Structure 1
């Protein structure tokens, strides 16, 4: 009985760890939003696809997304370095 609960706890911890790793690889959805870039840049059909305004909007959204991903990666790296340099602090 005691071994069963210990195994269950171990399996749950492993599942939670894997779930955290899986969600880490997802890009930051908050930075630009979950909106469809095409729909946002066409402004409800007012701006035709391929126009200079549309192209500029798509480029701006790409840059925003790349910057958000870089910030998230930098924060993760900084946290890892802090944890390595301060092993006694939580």
Structure 2
């Protein structure tokens, strides 16, 4: 009798890690792009701390934000397309 009560618990323990990925929502983990941005700005012969360097880093931040917004928009568009066209796999 005790074995039957343990089966659901064991099944839950085996399935829980598989379902854990379904719980993640929101933004993916942020990548540290500051090293790449710094290297990019330095490669253009911009001195660290100068107004040109600050502008370069701000431009890179805007580029990253635009890329994230574009990715989010594409994902929303795909979801909307799938809702509008359920007959197309």
**Deviation of 1:67 (Å):** 0.9
Count of matched residue positions in the alignment of Structure 1 and Structure 2? 82
Partners of 1:67 and 1:39 lie apart in 2 by 20
- Give the match for residue 20 of structure 2: 15
Gaps of 5+ in 1: none
Partners of 1:59 and 1:74 lie apart in 2 by 22
Gaps of 5+ in 2: none
Q: Greater helix share, 1 or 2?
A: 2
Q: CA RMSD of the aligned region, Å?
A: 3.1
TM-score (norm 2): 0.62
Q: Contact 1:28–1:68 (CA<8 Å) still a contact in 2? A: no
Structure with more contact order per residue of length (Cα contacts < 8 Å, sep ≥ 6): 1
Q: Contact 1:42–1:48 (CA<8 Å) still a contact in 2? A: yes
